[in-house]
Amino acid sequence: MGYDFALGEETFVVHPVHDRSEATLSIEGRAIRAALSPGLALGEYFLEIEGSRERVFLANRGDVHFIHWRGRTHRVESINALDRARRAAEPSGGTDLLRAPMPGTVVEVAVQPGQAVEAGTLLMTIESMKLQTAVTAPHSARVAEVFVATGGRFDQGAALIRLESQDDDPEEQPQESHEGETP
């Protein structure tokens, strides 16, 4: 499993290898093997990339990492793919598009288009890298569309389900009362 990191406006992926001090970095689509070994001072490390060894200093604050390298300090933020997908699926304009946090397969679709759901209702179960994840309704809504059927495969970021506000259904709109009016 890879880990996403944001550096400025760009996102990079790190794939750990067997040894925690070694990793494969995916930078602009190119795989680069790197190793990190501790130095003698607090926060001092030696970074070896493709045979070149350089001294770096690291400090962490939660998911934010500060890397001092070649006279500059870089702020690198760890990105949780599930949290990013949840934020991307937050309500906007009365509809929610629930997206896949990682590539995988739909194990079960538990709802039908048109069905009203409450917050926490199971919408579908997906499987990614042998891990099953429940996709649930973030709030009360109506299922507008299911994009991937049971057994279907999807990529990271793919639309899985679209929810809409229950107020968007014209059949549910209150009818105007004309009682007591004369034609």
Rounded to two decimals, what is the model's pTM?
A: 0.45
Q: Which CATH architecture has domain 88-170?
A: Beta Barrel (2.40)
Q: Where is pLDDT greater, at 89 or 137?
A: 137
Question: pLDDT value at position 62?
Answer: 80
What would the two tokens of residue 24 be? Answer: 């494969």
Q: Predicted confidence band at 23 (pLDDT cuts at 50, 70, 90)?
A: confident
Question: pLDDT value at position 34?
Answer: 82
Q: Residue 63: pLDDT above 80? A: no
Sequence-distant (6+) residues with CB within 8 A of 179 are: none
Question: pLDDT value at position 70?
Answer: 83
The two domains 3-79 and 88-170 share their CATH topology (first three levels equal): no
Q: Predicted confidence band at 24 (pLDDT cuts at 50, 70, 90)?
A: confident
Question: pLDDT value at position 170?
Answer: 45
pLDDT digits (tens, 9 = 90+) for 65-113: 888 888 888 887 777 666 666 666 555 555 688 988 788 899 999 999 9
DSSP of 6-41: EETTEEEEEEE-SSTTEEEEEETTEEEEEEEEE-SS
Q: Write the CA distances from 59 to 23, 35, 73, 88, 183, integer angstroms.
A: 19, 17, 10, 29, 77
Q: At which residue do the structure tokens 């107020």 appear?
A: 167
Domain assignments of the chain as residue spans, ordered by start? 3-79, 88-170
Distance from C-alpha of 177 to C-alpha of 173, rounded to nearest angstrom: 12
Just give the CATH number of 3-79: 3.30.700.30
